[in-house]
Amino acid sequence: MKKITFLALAAVLSLGAAAQTEGFVTKALNDDGEPTFDWSKASAFVPILVSETVSEALNTDIALDMRPNDTNIHLWVWNETYVGCDDNSGMNSFGQLEDHFAMTVSNKGWSGLGIIKDGATDFSFIDDTYVLHLAIKGNPVQSHGFGLGSIPFALGETAVYAGDPAVLVKNLGTWPNDGEWYYVDVPVKELKKLGDELFSSNTGGASAFTDNFFWIVSGGTQGNELHIDNVFLYKDSTIEPELLTGDVNRDGKVNVSDVTALINMILGTLEKDWESADVNKDEKINVSDVTALINIILGVAK
């Protein structure tokens, strides 16, 4: 049975500390029962746990498929800490009469589940323009911890502690206890503020990640219910990518291709891009920028 390596998950403790939303939580359906999700800004999807109808919408533009398939992508419930929840039917978060993902904490004194792909997986394309989307409903007093790669966060009205030794997990908001669905959309760049690495180098790094890609914990109280729906990543066209220092050709990487582009700009065979090519920020584009760029590639400077 695969267990998450980032968190020992010996216990997840809930304390009475109310969470404040930071703008990540919004109501899923409007008064007419229509989804409030803006499909027009979303592309290059990474489906994780999605309904049949939403799968059809995503299938036309998938960057990487991470849906459990019992072949090479697995959803593991660790040590039988969850059992299935019968209350998983009705209207889902996109206004469709479809089942959603629902689990109940068992009697093991802790809980955890994760999704993992056999072998190494390349997630290096997931940059700051990506957003993690999921929907949640139920009693927010029963907080839940989530993780994308190596970064944990919590949702609900109470604090979540996790790990060995236990540490406080950042709470990104809560939702009303009204039986309605609420979307949670967290930009990857916000998740990166919560930890050192989105995909830990200890488990292969972004280009060869070998650990649980997405995971959930729901405390140790028997009977706690988890109700989530339509979990996926998407590229948000409204988010401007952050320019890496030294990324002269703006391909999201800093390597020898940027040196070539920079030299061509200096020689005049390529139009100057002042924002990216002025590596040392002296308001000039010359050989000093080439030196600064090479030092970045060699790891001498940042």
Q: Are 166 and 232 in contact (CB under 8 A)?
A: no
Residue 279 lies in a domain: yes
pTM for this prediction: 0.80
Task: Specify whether 48 is located in the same domain as 152.
Answer: yes
Is 247 a domain residue? no
- When computed from its CA atoms, the radius of gyration of the chain, rounded to whole angstroms, is 22
Average pLDDT over residues 208-213: 96
Residue 215 has pLDDT above 90, yes or no: yes
Q: Domain check: are 261 and 232 in the same one?
A: no
Instruction: State residue 197's pLDDT score.
Output: 86
Q: Which domain holds residue 274?
A: 256-298
19 pLDDT band (50/70/90 cuts)? very low
Q: Which of 183, 201, 236 is the last residue of a domain?
A: 236
Segment 99-118 shows an average pLDDT of 96
In the DSSP assignment, the letter for residue 196 is S
80 occurs within a structural domain: yes
Assess contact for 155 and 173: CB atoms under 8 A: yes
Q: How far apart, in whole angstroms, are the C-alpha atoms of residue 97 and residue 112?
A: 27
Question: Where among 188, 206, 236 does a domain terminate?
Answer: 236
Q: pLDDT, tens digit, for every residue of 270-288? A: 999 998 999 999 999 999 9
- In this prediction, residues 211-240 reach a mean pLDDT of 96
Q: How many domains does the chain have?
A: 2
80 and 223, same domain (yes or no): yes
Same-domain status, 85 and 173? yes
Predicted confidence (pLDDT) at residue 16 exceeds the cutoff of 80: no
260 inside domain: yes
Neighbouring-strand partners of residue 152: 147
Residues 123, 231: one domain? yes
pLDDT in tens, 111-170: 999 999 999 999 999 999 999 999 999 999 999 999 999 999 999 999 888 766 778 899
Cβ-based neighbour number of residue 81 at 10 Å: 20
Q: For residue 205, what is the domain's CATH number?
A: 2.60.120.430
Residue 109 has pLDDT above 90, yes or no: yes
Name the phi and psi angles at 68, rounded to 5: -55, 135
Extract the runs of DSSP E, i.e. beta strands, from the chain: 13-15, 25-27, 42-49, 73-77, 82-84, 101-105, 113-117, 130-137, 144-148, 151-155, 159-162, 167-169, 182-187, 214-217, 225-236
Is the model's pLDDT at 21 over the cut of 90?
Answer: no
Q: Does 41 fall in a domain?
A: yes
Residues 86 and 137 in one domain: yes
Q: Does residue 200 sit in the same domain as residue 285?
A: no
Domain membership flag for residue 152 = yes
Phi-psi region of 79 (alpha: psi -120 to 50; beta: other; left: phi over 0): left
217 and 277 in a single domain? The answer is no
pLDDT grade for 13, boundaries at 50, 70 and 90: very low
Task: Please tell me whether residues 155 and 232 are part of one structural domain.
Answer: yes
- Structure token pair of residue 29: 């359906």
- pLDDT score, position 4: 37
Do 217 and 111 meet the contact criterion of CB atoms below 8 Å apart? yes
pLDDT tens digits, 51-81: 999 999 999 999 999 999 989 999 999 999 9
Residue 98 has pLDDT above 70, yes or no: yes
Digit-coded pLDDT (tens) for 174-190: 999 999 999 999 999 99
Q: What is the DSSP string of 260-300?
A: HHHHHHHHTSS---HHHH-TT-SS--SHHHHHHHHHHHHTS
Let me know whether 36 and 69 are in one domain.
yes
- Residue 77 shares a structural domain with residue 177: yes
- Higher pLDDT: 299 or 69? It is 69
Q: Does one domain contain both 226 and 156? A: yes
Kindly report the CA angle at 194 between 190 and 196, in degrees rounded to 5? 110
Give the residue ranges of DSSP H helices in 25-164: 52-58
Query: Does residue 173 belong to any structural domain of this protein?
Result: yes
Which pair of tokens denotes residue 110? Answer: 């802790």
Per DSSP, the three-state class of 150 is coil
The pLDDT of residue 160: 87
Q: Report pLDDT digits (tens) over 25-57.
A: 999 999 999 999 999 999 999 999 999 999 999
| Residue-level pLDDT at 213 | 96
Is 246 contained in some domain?
A: no
Q: Which residue type does 140 have?
A: P
Q: What share of the chain is helix, strand, coil (3-state, %, to 5)?
A: 15, 30, 55
pLDDT computed for residue 89 by the predictor: 93
pLDDT, tens digit, for every residue of 234-258? 999 999 877 889 989 887 778 898 9
